[in-house]
Structure 1
């Protein structure tokens, strides 16, 4: 039979109100009494009913997190930042993978709301009108994590993706490269796609380098698409001397495709990306990349959400965190 709060109170010889105060970490309980209650809880194997507590308080101390790809180490690092801050403020998280598919994202959002979460953290691609409608009817705070909506109506934490791409391409230009290819994410993606593509173009134009659409290939963020895109560039008679990849995983595919052709990185072709995941230092040569503070993005997003859930004053609802270029061995001067 299920052990109830009444059973614990009887076992400890205290009132149910006292047990409730102990379970909810109310400080107004004598240490000796608290000890008796904890001992009774342990003997009986009592577990508080979170659903019942939620009904009583109208709070479940649970946060829903929508993640695009749970197998991607970048998002895993964001999730770690979220969880650490959630634990600090005594929230549990429900993590849901949505594969960057709009229909699945909307379905997951609605499922989490049905679970009566106290707030939502959304990591995804394009924030569409359907997403905004779901957020609008949520009746709980929502924070966008590592993404933003075009109108800036939803609180968010991210980097400046256009500036990050610009800095990456300028790193190549400063090494003397003028024939620079790009492997982009889908241009419908406001961050990894369009913003980074725009940063690439701006860096070229400001340096007096003509934009060539034949030097841009659209990938799907995966290793294989980096390989395929680089094969396309290698088939050209005038191969690029440098490649900017929108993500580390595609950049590593790029490096391997170059090496498979008997060419060297960076002696023949330089490669740089945006992300700076753990994989960047595992590949050889090690990958130069613009570092996103992924853990911090998760941690700051969760902290912003706690403030919104507690109705605390929030001075800045759109947070842009700094990025930096991490120079490694995959970029060299144009020979």
Structure 2
């Protein structure tokens, strides 16, 4: 395929080549109208917007009103490190302000936001590729997705807990049923399927979604089901669950085994250190930037990409295999 040059962009935009250079290098001596015309032309042609000083600019979209949690902290860290490794630059943008990307010399964006309206609003942007973490994409609108391989990850968790003698396993999620439908990692649905495949009756009662009561009420319902192990996601919530268990004089793992999603620099310092599922955030970041680069090179991206994680075995799961223990 023919290489796209700044001369071709200038011709498309109806400006001088020097004007294209001014826009790409963020020089102030260009009117907003001309600037937008050049950026639109560059994106239509697939011209990589890279300043002379180097460093393609990648936007990272977050939800502005959302507090920093374990998922956001770990994904931002992974994206930041991968962007730096490739010699790119990074700009964090509120999901409410994505239209600003039309005015930036940005090559593409990665969304860590679960904003359900983001895909629809993205259609208004000018041929900018977007890669979403977890939330569903729309290939026709240049939106792709990288996400944890939830089926493989839950299989890891189940196989480990089963090997340790656990059959009555509960799941505590900090997402509603409605939010679950928007994600590619359908954790609650897949967890229930695994329980049913293991012959567990009324498996739906062992999956607790947000919105079905207070944390205390939801935990009580799971405990009443006779669970011997509880999987809690995300890692932030595991801290609260441990506090609730302590108030009931229940010990981890003696009275209830606990497994969660990794919360870096926190999970390993809980009492006891928590066994966790660590999503491969670095791989997700690398795949996201690969997809953006393929788009800029006018190559067809392969589609959405699932990334399996791994277990970090610590001290929060009790071994029931050699004990005289019956489940409810």
> Normalized against structure 1, the TM-score is what?
0.69
Alignment of 1:174-185 (within 5 A): 174-184=163-173, 185=175
Q: Give the stretch that moved more between structures: 158-167 or 287-296.
A: 158-167
Contact 1:86 1:92 (8 Å CA) reproduced: yes
Alignment of 1:79-228 (within 5 A): 79-97=76-94, 105=95, 107-115=96-104, 117-125=106-114, 128=116, 130-149=117-136, 154-184=143-173, 185-190=175-180, 195-219=186-210
TM-superposed CA distance for 1:275, in Å, is 3.9
Note the aligned Cα RMSD (angstroms): 3.4
Structure 1 match to 2:71? 74
Give the secondary structure class of the aligned counterpart of 2:114: coil
Change (3 A) 1:316 1:150: closer
Is 1:323 aligned with 2:309?
yes
Structure 1, unaligned runs of 5 or more: 1-16, 25-47, 98-104
Larger Rg belongs to? 1
> Normalized against structure 2, the TM-score is what?
0.70
TM-superposed CA distance for 1:121, in Å, is 1.3
Give the secondary structure class of the aligned counterpart of 1:181: strand
Count of residue pairs the alignment pairs up: 276
Give the secondary structure class of the aligned counterpart of 2:266: helix
Contact 1:226 1:252 (8 Å CA) reproduced: no
Alignment of 1:28-43 (within 5 A): none
